[in-house]
Amino acid sequence: MYKVYVGTKNPVKLEAVRKVLSDFEVIGLDVNSGVGSQPLSDEETIIGARNRAESLPKGYFRIGLEAGVQECLGVLYLVNWGVLIDEKDNYYYAGGTRIPLPKFIKDKLFTEGKELAEVMDEYFNTVNIKHHEGAIGIFTNSLVKRVDIFVHIVKLLYGQYLSKNINF
């Protein structure tokens, strides 16, 4: 059985990897993203995912998954990114879901320095939402859950690996 290391202990992210890479032994390790607890741009989110993947044992598949936010045209969007590093140190990048977030969330993140999950738990009276349906679940009436957006990212990453796309 092949191994894939994932740079998190978050059960939602690990479940996403297990769903896509069912033939792999999935091992989650708690690693530092090297960015703030709430990445505030695509760039920070990508760097966080890459740092997580790079912190894992070499010689295996290494996956970093990161959720963040990105402001565009005055609107704050939920974003997510992933990086897969294969056993030969080739890098694959993928970004996914974008959905606008309410203005009150933007204000809390940028003026109070809070993390999205913290604002969601506080406002919607949830507990540890990032380990459950996530903000995406709340804002899509549970049609899309957090695991779904990370399954999509892992599929994009692994699909690139399987097709042997050129690394940029």
Domain CATH for 88: 3.90.950.10
User: Which residue segment(s) compose the domain that 40 sits in?
Assistant: 2-101+144-163
Domain contains 22: yes
- Give strand pairing partners of 64: 83
> pLDDT digit string (tens) for 1-37?
699 999 999 999 999 999 999 999 999 999 999 998 8
Domain contains 84: yes
Q: 81: buried, middle or exposed (CB in 10 Å: 19+, 13-18, 0-12)?
A: buried
Q: What is the pLDDT, as a whole number, of residue 130?
A: 83
Q: If we measure between CA atoms, which residue out of 101, 103, 87, 53 comes closest to residue 161?
A: 87
Question: What is the rounded CA–CA span in Å between residue 156 and residue 161?
Answer: 9
Q: Are 99 and 81 in contact (CB under 8 A)?
A: no
Q: How many CB atoms lie within 10 A of CB 56?
A: 20
Query: What 3-state DSSP class applies to 100?
Result: strand
Count of domains forming the chain: 1
Q: What is the pLDDT, as a whole number, of residue 113?
A: 86
pLDDT band, very low/low/confident/very high, at 85 (cuts 50, 70, 90):
very high
> Integer distance in angstroms from the first to the last C-alpha of the chain?
29
Share of the chain above pLDDT 90, in %: 80
Question: What is the rounded CA–CA span in Å between residue 14 and residue 72?
Answer: 30
